[in-house]
């Protein structure tokens, strides 16, 4: 550096920005992204994040399949998705550059660590010559910094090994990006002190790197492209906020549901599987909240233990991803036959079979609704956003305990890891639905139904004089004893179907998320595609198109007004991250000529994908 110039305070203004941090699995990109998210949140901006990490645990360094990325979309407007295209790409090595460059907007900014562009790394990334030295990046604004050396200089006073110093590069990059958008470093400094509480030297070095990156932006020799920006605060409802991932939303929602039900214990049984394991990990730390977690020997045992717990009077919950849900199918049948509450959380991923475990898909809908032997109905719900995971989990507990039925919650790999701001509710404001266990022996029969809900009584073993036997064999409608009577089986089949269908009377009517309750086109979605569809419909409406957005959270049974509502639109378009599943259910249920917009790339919808489809139909 030849001179130091303190920048003038003027910054350019941006409504919203999409940044993608990309580097090797070991470069700490997820941590960098999370810390940037937190500073964004604390500054009052809205945001939506999308972590995209490789399936390999420790891929060889410098390889394209070892690239780990974290995308954040932040700003003042309605930030509903992690963003279609990237404004700023931070590429810590050539592999990250080559993998992620496609999504960078023409004219966008790419920040690279020049020291990582060695011949060895370039070869691993498939470059025959450095893209920094030819015109292949001419369409972008390229900011080349020797981040490795700048970091090493910054941490030198702390006496780290060169390897340890190298690991501080991400904090330097974080510092620079925080400067670019005028954000604070306080929360990151606090976090580093806490994380490295037992290694104060490492904490200090990382803080030094963070500060150095920030100071570099503040004082570096003027380069034409290194510009500071301001992003407006979001106009959101007053209250206390935090960031929430879908996994946290589900875990805390289950705990809140447990309390609302008054059930003493939640027994969560799972088996490790990507991307569902995070829920097991989160709940394993909530023992003080009445949660007992059990890592079973397989998916079947996990479902079995959860069902056994429900039989014993606790709230049984099991969780998996598509292939594991397939294994639990037999136990779902038993839960339906014995009419016991059970919450099943499916973090969907791309399939079939092992498929692409780290990539999100919505392709288990038909499995959830229909994927069992015999006539075996259950309730299926799907959260729209990470924050909605909390509410959906509470609702799943309510329906499971009130109707004595399994309830399947369809989350996905994207919701599990993505984060959004969340207005924290107070426990006092949450719903209450206390469960009553049957203790009265007068007129007791294990399958005597509540006339309104058609639910049978929940009896805890240990209750005197109510001893009874249940099982998978068909049982008599009245006495609950084993029965092969043909008319009885027909009556029981109908009772099981009517009970689930009746849940429709106990859930909200389908609302229109955006637009009118009639018109030319309804775009109907479910699950994690909410943000992309909503934004696309907003754009189309701004263009003057007659289009509405309807998002279904209750997939089985459907809300009671859904059919009538959909018939008030000329056309119905169903974007979903599968080869057309909700569209089939809607056609079958309502004889509607609904049209499909499938996306099966393992990546979330881009707003433009949907906006273009809308333009064709409206």
Partner 1 sequence: MTVTTITDAQLAPKDYASDQEVRWCPGCGDYAILKAVQKACADMGLSRERTVFVSGIGCAARFPYYMSTYGFHTVHGRAPAIATGIKLANPDLDVWVMTGDGDGLSIGGNHMLHVLRRNVDLNIVLFNNEIYGLTKGQYSPTSRRGTRSPSTPLGSIENPVSACAFALGAGARFVARSIDTLQAHLIAVLKRAHAHRGASFLEILQNCVVFNDAVFEHITGKEFAADAQVLVEHGKPLVFGKNKEKALRLKPGSLTLEVVDATAADILVHDETNRPLAQLLATLEPPFPTAMGVLYCNPAASYEHDVYAQPGAAQGVKGGDLDALLNSERTWEVLP
Q: How far is the CB of 596 from partner 1 (least distance, A)?
A: 36
Least CB distance from residue 506 to partner 1, whole Å? Answer: 24
Strand pairing category for 315-320 and 519-526: unpaired
Continuous segment of H or E residues that includes residue 52: strand 46-52
| Helix (H) or strand (E) segment spanning residue 91 | strand 86-91
Q: Which is nearer to partner 1, 422 or 554 (CB)?
A: 422
Tell me how long the chain is. Answer: 618
CB of 378 vs partner 1, minimal distance in Å: 16
**Of 87 and 395, CB closest to partner 1:** 395
CA–CA gap between residue 176 and residue 506 (Å, rounded): 52
CA distances from 474 to 421, 434, 492 (A): 48, 30, 8
How far apart (Å, rounded) are the C-alpha atoms in residues 134 and 82?
31
Question: How far is Cα 331 from Cα 371, in angstroms, rounded to an integer?
Answer: 12
| Nearest CB to partner 1, comparing residues 69 and 286 | 286
* Smallest distance from partner 1 to CB 411, Å: 19
Q: Which is nearer to partner 1, 96 or 325 (CB)?
A: 325
Q: Which is nearer to partner 1, 69 or 393 (CB)?
A: 393
Query: DSSP states of 155-170 as a string?
Result: HGGGT--HHHHHTTHH
Cβ of residue 286: shortest distance to partner 1, in angstroms?
7
Q: Which is nearer to partner 1, 198 or 237 (CB)?
A: 237
DSSP 55: S
**Nearest Cα residue to 372 out of 296, 298, 302, 472:** 472
Closest CB 373 distance from partner 1, rounded Å: 11
Provide the minimum distance between the beta carbon of 122 and partner 1 in the complex, in angstroms, as a whole number. Answer: 39
Phi-psi region of 462 (alpha: psi -120 to 50; beta: other; left: phi over 0): left
Smaller CB distance to partner 1: residue 133 or 427? 427
Pick between residue 302 and residue 537 the one whose CB is nearest to partner 1. 302
Residue 402's nearest CA partner among 269, 559, 266, 263 is: 263
**Least distance between partner 1 and beta carbon 109 (Å):** 28
The phi and psi torsions of 89 (rounded to 5 degrees) equal -110, 125
Q: CB-wise, 278 or 350, nearer to partner 1?
A: 278
Give the residues across from 482 on adjacent strands: 475
Sign of CA dihedral 77, 78, 79, 83: negative
Residue 421 pairs in a beta bridge with 243
Q: How far is the CB of 414 from partner 1 (least distance, A)?
A: 22
């Amino acid at each position: 550096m030849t001179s130091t110039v303190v920048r003038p305070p003027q910054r350019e203004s941006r409504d919203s920005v999409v940044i993608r941090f990309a580097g090797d699995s070991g470069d700490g990109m997820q941590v960098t992204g999370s810390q940037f998210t937190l500073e964004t949140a604390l500054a009052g901006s809205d945001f939506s994040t999308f972590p995209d990490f490789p399936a390999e645990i420790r891929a060889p360094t410098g390889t394209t399949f070892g690239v780990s990325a974290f995308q954040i979309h932040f700003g003042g407007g309605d930030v509903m998705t992690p963003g279609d295209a990237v404004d700023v790409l931070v590429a810590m090595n050539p592999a990250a550059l080559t993998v992620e460059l496609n999504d960078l907007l023409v004219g966008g900014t790419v920040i690279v660590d020049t020291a990582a562009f060695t011949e060895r790394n370039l070869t691993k990334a498939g470059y025959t010559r450095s893209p920094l030295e030819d015109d292949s990046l001419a369409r972008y604004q390229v900011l080349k910094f020797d981040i490795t050396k700048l970091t090493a200089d910054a941490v030198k006073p702390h006496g780290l090994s060169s390897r340890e110093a190298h690991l501080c590069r991400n904090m330097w990059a974080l510092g620079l990006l925080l400067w670019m958008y005028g954000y604070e470093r306080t929360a990151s400094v606090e976090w580093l002190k806490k994380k490295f509480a037992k290694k104060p030297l490492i904490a200090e070095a990382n803080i030094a790197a963070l500060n150095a990156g920030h100071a570099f932006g503040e004082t570096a020799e003027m380069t034409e492209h290194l510009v500071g920006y301001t992003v407006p605060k979001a106009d959101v409802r007053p209250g206390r906020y935090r960031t929430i991932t879908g996994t946290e939303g589900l875990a805390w929602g289950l705990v809140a549901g447990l309390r609302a039900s008054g059930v003493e214990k939640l027994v969560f049984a799972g088996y490790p599987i990507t991307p569902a394991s995070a829920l097991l990990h989160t709940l394993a730390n909530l023992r003080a909240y009445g949660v007992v977690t059990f890592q079973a020997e397989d998916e079947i045992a996990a479902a079995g233990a959860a069902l056994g717990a429900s039989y014993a009077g606790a709230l049984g919950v099991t969780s998996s991803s598509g292939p594991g849900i397939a294994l639990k199918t037999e136990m779902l049948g038993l839960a339906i036959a014995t009419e016991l509450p059970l919450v099943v959380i499916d973090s969907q991923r791309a399939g079939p079979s092992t498929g692409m475990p780290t990539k999100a898909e919505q392709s288990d809908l038909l499995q959830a609704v229909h994927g069992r032997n015999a006539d075996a109905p259950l309730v299926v719900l799907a959260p729209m956003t990470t924050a909605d995971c909390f509410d959906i989990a509470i609702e799943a507990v309510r329906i499971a305990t009130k109707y004595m039925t399994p309830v399947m919650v369809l989350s996905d790999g994207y919701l599990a890891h993505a984060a959004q701001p969340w207005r924290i509710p107070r426990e006092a404001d949450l719903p209450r639905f206390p469960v009553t266990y049957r203790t009265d022996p007068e007129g007791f029969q294990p399958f005597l139904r509540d006339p309104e809900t058609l639910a049978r009584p929940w009896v805890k073993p240990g209750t005197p004089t109510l001893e009874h036997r249940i099982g998978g064999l068909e049982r008599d409608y009245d006495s609950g004893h084993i029965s092969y009577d043909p008319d009885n089986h027909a009556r029981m089949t109908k009772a099981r179907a009517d009970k689930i269908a009746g849940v429709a009377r106990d859930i909200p009517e389908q609302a229109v998320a955006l637009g009118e309750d009639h018109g030319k086109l309804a775009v109907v979605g479910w699950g994690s595609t909410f943000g992309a569809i909503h934004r696309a419909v907003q754009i189309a409406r701004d263009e003057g198109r007659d289009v509405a957005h309807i998002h279904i959270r209750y997939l089985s049974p459907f809300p009671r007004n859904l059919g009538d509502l959909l018939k008030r639109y000329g056309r119905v378009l169903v974007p979903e991250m599968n080869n057309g599943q909700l569209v089939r259910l809607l056609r079958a249920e309502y004889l509607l000529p609904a049209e499909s917009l499938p996306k099966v790339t393992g990546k979330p919808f881009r707003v433009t994908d949907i906006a273009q489809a809308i333009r064709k139909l409206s």
